[in-house]
Amino acid sequence: MAMTITEKILARHAGKEEVHAGEFVTVTPDFIFGNELGTGLAIEGREELLQKRGIFDTSRVAVIPDHFTPNKDITSAELSKTVREFVRRYHVGHYFEVGRMGIEHVILHEKGLVVSGDVIVGADSHSCTYGALGAFSTGVGSTDFFALLISGQLWFSVPETIKVVLKGKLSKWVTAKDVVLYLVGLLGADGARYKALEFHGDGVRSIPLSGRFTICNMAIEAGAKNAVFPADELTIAYQKGRAQRQPVYYEADADAVYCDVIEIDLTSLKPQLSCPHRPDNVKPFAEAVAGKNLPVDQVFIGSCINGRIEDLREAAGILKDRVVHPDTRLIVTPGSQEVYLQAVEEGLVQIFIKAGAVVSTPTCGACIGGHMGVLAGGERCVSTTNRNFRGRMGHYDSEVYLSGVPVAAASAVLGRIALPEELQP
């Protein structure tokens, strides 16, 4: 019987010829990972069992401290110390310390630790990011992550799949972030609950791999179990010389069964805004700001969804020879040390600093209200992150609008929520 990409990957890892939606399977992931929060919660109070069982395969485990790292206070420092000692004691194969770290959902594929065809499981909700490579990639809670650490196995119910057909090509200033914001707004917070999102159509070719990471990252905001793009020449080229395992490429069968089909015309898509206080509260830019002057106190460009070098280039292209509005703060956070270094070498950091922005070390930081950009009461922020829940980035009475990089950069210059075409040439 025909299978989707997700079904094919799960079947292989469950040792079966085929699997289908609703079936329960036990799989052996190729790679698992956690940040300091997920890992810390997983191992807390379980030292005796850890000593007895050990880690199933240290070479297939990574720990990436990124949420409150570099540490913002004593509590986060103690947590990082606990995780660091765990890594050393159990000889975890991949650990990225301060100075060599990055945001987990940028650094792992950058280092070639996750590849096409994998089953990837992370102790973080945005672990669905790696579906951009054509992998089954999903997040779990700390208890499941601990079970994985010691057993190397996890069960899943094979998800139904929603087929998302992308048609046409994105217009200027419209990005992959606008695609996923539109899709999340269309589906709602639970419209894809425990389902896979599988992307098809001629429009896929027009979206760079960085944009596919962006789209898969935010699939969880519609409740999706995972999201996946079929591998193509961009996927193959990205992994050449980078992949630490042999990638396996899958395509859905022509007669695969889908629970729903959604078509998105990229050509007619306009910039989108996710308005406070839900990621699925999405409106076209024109509708969201119609007749309003919405001053902006802070703009944040970065995070695991928009902190790649392509995002920084896009921001720098708008900010070059311009300055940030005097009433607005602009924080730029590269997604990894590699991205940071490349931004330095390309002169992007110089552009940001000359414009009046601050450039942060790679960290989740402001995205989770951890540090490097916490909002005060009544402040409004335009952010390229993936969540805008009340209190997410700081004070309960602050407001966060989610956007693509072009809107964020233009808003920083004009001091209000704005489109890049509003800028003077």
Which residue has 């693509």 as its token pair?
404
Residue 144: the pLDDT is 94
Q: Which of 236, 265, 294 marks a domain boundary?
A: 265
Which residue has 């995780």 as its token pair?
83
More confident residue, 85 or 1: 85
pLDDT band at 101 (very low <50, low <70, confident <90, very high): confident
- Contact at 8 Å (CB) between 32 and 48? no
CA 61 to the chain's CA centroid: 19
What is the pLDDT of the chain when averaged over all its residues?
A: 95
Cis preceding-peptide flag for 276 (omega within 30 of 0): no
Residues 104, 83 within the same domain: yes
Mean pLDDT of 86-98: 94
Cis preceding-peptide flag for 277 (omega within 30 of 0): yes
Residues 80, 218 within the same domain: yes
What distance in Å separates the CA atoms of residue 396 and residue 416, rounded to the nearest whole number? 21
Q: Which of 265, 299, 334 marks a domain boundary?
A: 265
Residues 257, 390 within the same domain: no
Percent of the chain residues past pLDDT 70, beyond the cut: 100
pLDDT digits 0-9 by tens, 110-141: 999 999 999 999 999 999 999 999 999 999 99
Task: Write down how long the chain is.
Answer: 425
Residues 42, 162 within the same domain: yes
Residue 96: the pLDDT is 95
pLDDT band at 416 (very low <50, low <70, confident <90, very high): very high
| Residues of the domain holding 201 | 5-265
Picking from 41, 39, 77, 69, the residue whose alpha carbon sits closest to that of residue 55 is: 39
Residues 252, 171 within the same domain: yes
CATH of the domain at 111: 3.30.499.10
Our count of domains for the chain comes to 2
Residues 85, 110 within the same domain: yes
Residues 46, 125 within the same domain: yes
Q: How many CA atoms lie within 13 A of 360 on its CB side?
A: 27
Q: At what angle do helices 348-355 and 309-319 cross, to 10 degrees?
A: 40
| Residue 416 DSSP class | B
Residue 42: the pLDDT is 92
Residue 162 pairs with which residues in a beta bridge?
A: 197, 260
What distance in Å separates the CA atoms of residue 147 and residue 31, rounded to the nearest whole number? 14
3-state secondary structure of 202: helix
Picking from 162, 166, 193, 189, the residue whose alpha carbon sits closest to that of residue 259 is: 162
Mean pLDDT of 341-364: 97
Q: Which of 245, 265, 285 marks a domain boundary?
A: 265
Residues 309, 233 within the same domain: no
pLDDT digits 0-9 by tens, 235-246: 999 999 999 999
Residues 236, 328 within the same domain: no
Residues 192, 339 within the same domain: no
pLDDT band at 402 (very low <50, low <70, confident <90, very high): very high
Residues 285, 376 within the same domain: yes
Residue 280: the pLDDT is 96
Residues 323, 393 within the same domain: yes
Q: At what angle do helices 176-187 and 209-217 cross, to 10 degrees?
A: 30
Residue 47: the pLDDT is 86
Residue 370: the pLDDT is 85
Residue 425: the pLDDT is 74
Question: Which tokens sit at 120?
Answer: 């990837």
- Contact at 8 Å (CB) between 120 and 299? no
Q: Is 251 exposed, middle or buried (0-12, 13-18, 19+ CB in 10 A)?
A: middle
pLDDT digits 0-9 by tens, 155-194: 999 999 999 999 999 999 999 999 999 999 999 999 999 9
